[in-house]
């Protein structure tokens, strides 16, 4: 046991040392404000952009430990963030509107004139606000909310046992919002709210050419209006045309978990599989949803930020005009051009929101530590 604990500690320290070496010193922008009042509509990412050259260093500027990263408290509109430049590297703290420190907890509030801070003294504090429902999100929730309640990834045959649309109103080929469909396979379920799906394109690992799963294409929502076999459902919304053969799964309660932008604790070397619900040849940009061939088994978790690179291959120009086939290919160093924020992970696949991009995002591009 002692040997195992020692090995685990050594591995943890080595991982922390690797991350520190890879990320370098914390760099605060020259234009960073001394004080900032959190506004409605802010995100952790947008605030990080005001203070940091590297937005994923948010835990570092708050001196957050791993437990705080995984179970953060909240920042809400009206909170005052103070950049303490008296320490090295600079540190963000939460102050009050009067310039002092405010320590809010279950026992009450301590203002700038009370203990433990004293007049004008900043007290270290990370995200404390009783109004959790007002907490600002890490990234724009509207960009990812639909993808948090959708399965996104299914195994081959994963929808085969799900209730199936066997007929549509007046035998229409496709139905939309307000139309009726008939479903077999509900059994004794009394669940009223359902989501409609069909299996989409396979997610193929660009490295191994192995199929990791199939994309679940969200088609719309439905409500059971009459139980039975077949049961009757009303289509409430339709993102795409719905037809016989499509499958239904119960609608989960939508939740928006809180993520802290941070770099992975271990080395990541993956590739983009493609853009969500798009052709393999499609390209995207900022705010695109992408899938990558790395997941929980590779150490990825929600909140991780990865850099996007492109492999560039050129041909030796000395022989290119005579014959391209005879010209040797030259692999140039990968060029970094964007950042992706991981918001959902599966075992071997993760989904992320492209936060920054200076060129089109394409399948096959690299995702590495930022």
Q: Which of 31-35, 119-123, 198-202, 314-318 has the highest mean pLDDT?
A: 31-35
In angstroms, the CA 154 to CA 212 distance is 9
In angstroms, the CA 289 to CA 340 distance is 9
pLDDT at 319 over 80: no
Higher pLDDT, 267 or 324: 267
Per-residue pLDDT, averaged over 24-46, amounts to 90
**In the structure, what pLDDT confidence band is assigned to residue 89 with cuts at 50, 70 and 90?**
confident
Q: What is the pLDDT of residue 320?
A: 53
Q: What is the pLDDT of residue 276?
A: 81
**Cα 199 versus chain centre, distance:** 22
Per-residue pLDDT, averaged over 232-243, amounts to 93
Per-residue pLDDT, averaged over 224-233, amounts to 94
pLDDT at 165 over 80: yes
Model confidence pLDDT, tens digit, residues 104-119: 333 333 333 333 344 3
Per-residue pLDDT, averaged over 37-45, amounts to 91
Q: What is the pLDDT of residue 183?
A: 96
Secondary element (H or E) of residue 339: strand 329-345
15-24, 129-138, 282-291, 341-350: which has the minimum mean pLDDT? 15-24
pLDDT at 369 over 50: yes
In angstroms, the CA 304 to CA 78 distance is 27
Higher pLDDT, 53 or 125: 53
Is residue 119 a contact partner of residue 100, using CB atoms and an 8 Å limit? yes
Per-residue pLDDT, averaged over 54-71, amounts to 81
Higher pLDDT, 145 or 47: 47
In angstroms, the CA 220 to CA 175 distance is 11
Higher pLDDT, 14 or 156: 156
Model confidence pLDDT, tens digit, residues 107-152: 333 333 333 344 333 333 333 333 345 788 888 887 787 677 666 7
> What pTM was computed for the model?
0.72
Q: Return the SS3 of 224.
A: strand
Higher pLDDT, 127 or 24: 24
pLDDT at 162 over 80: yes
Higher pLDDT, 269 or 3: 269
Higher pLDDT, 117 or 291: 291
Dihedral sign for Cα 59, 141, 248, 246, please: negative
Mean pLDDT of the chain: 79
Q: What is the pLDDT of residue 25?
A: 81
In angstroms, the CA 55 to CA 339 distance is 10
Q: How many CA atoms lie within 13 A of 268 on its CB side?
A: 33
**In the structure, what pLDDT confidence band is assigned to residue 305 with cuts at 50, 70 and 90?**
very high
Q: What is the pLDDT of residue 271?
A: 96
Per-residue pLDDT, averaged over 65-72, amounts to 69
Higher pLDDT, 200 or 49: 49
**In the structure, what pLDDT confidence band is assigned to residue 10 with cuts at 50, 70 and 90?**
very low
Residue 7, classified by CB atoms within 10 Å of its CB into exposed (0-12), middle (13-18) or buried (19+), is exposed
In angstroms, the CA 131 to CA 143 distance is 23
37-41, 100-104, 227-231, 267-271: which has the minimum mean pLDDT? 100-104
Q: What is the pLDDT of residue 355?
A: 94
The widest CA-to-CA distance across the chain, in whole angstroms, is 81
pLDDT at 338 over 90: yes
- Strands in 158-317 per DSSP E: 164-168, 180-184, 193-204, 211-226, 231-238, 247-250, 269-275, 283-284, 289-292, 305-315
**Cα 151 versus chain centre, distance:** 14
Secondary element (H or E) of residue 353: strand 350-357
Q: What is the pLDDT of residue 120?
A: 39
């Amino acid at each position: 046991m002692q040997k195992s604990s020692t090995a685990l500690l050594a591995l943890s320290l080595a991982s922390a040392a690797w991350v520190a070496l890879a990320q370098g010193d914390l760099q605060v922008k020259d234009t960073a404000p001394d004080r900032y009042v959190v506004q409605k509509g802010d995100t952790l990412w947008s605030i990080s952009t005001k203070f940091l050259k590297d937005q994923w260093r948010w835990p570092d500027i708050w001196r957050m430990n791993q437990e705080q990263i995984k179970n953060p408290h909240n920042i809400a509109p009206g909170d005052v963030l103070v950049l303490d430049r008296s320490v090295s590297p600079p540190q963000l703290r939460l102050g009050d509107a009067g310039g002092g420190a405010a320590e809010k907890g279950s026992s009450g509030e301590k203002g700038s004139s009370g203990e433990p801070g004293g007049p004008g003294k900043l007290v270290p504090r990370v995200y404390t606000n009783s109004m959790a429902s007002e907490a600002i999100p890490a990234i724009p929730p509207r960009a990812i909310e639909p993808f948090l309640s959708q399965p996104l990834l299914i195994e081959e045959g994963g929808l085969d046992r799900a209730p199936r649309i066997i007929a549509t109103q007046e035998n229409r080929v496709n139905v939309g919002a307000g139309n009726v469909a008939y479903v077999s396979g509900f059994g004794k379920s009394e669940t009223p709210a359902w989501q409609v799906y069909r299996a989409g394109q396979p997610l193929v690992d660009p490295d191994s050419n192995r199929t990791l799963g199939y994309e679940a294409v969200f088609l719309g929502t439905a409500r059971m209006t009459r139980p039975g076999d077949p049961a009757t459902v009303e289509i409430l919304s339709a993102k795409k045309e719905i037809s016989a053969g499509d499958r239904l799964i119960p609608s989960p309660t939508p939740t928006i978990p809180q993520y802290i932008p941070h770099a992975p604790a271990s080395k990541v070397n993956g590739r983009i599989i493609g853009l969500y619900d798009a052709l393999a040849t499609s390209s995207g940009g900022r705010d695109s949803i992408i899938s990558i061939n790395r997941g929980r088994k590779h150490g990825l978790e929600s909140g991780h930020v990865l850099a996007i690179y492109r492999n560039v291959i050129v041909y030796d120009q000395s022989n290119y005009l005579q014959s391209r086939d005879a010209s040797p290919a030259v692999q140039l160093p990968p060029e970094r051009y964007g950042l992706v924020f991981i918001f959902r992970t599966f075992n071997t696949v993760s989904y992320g929101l492209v936060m920054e991009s200076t060129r089109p995002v394409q399948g096959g591009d690299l995702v590495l530590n930022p």
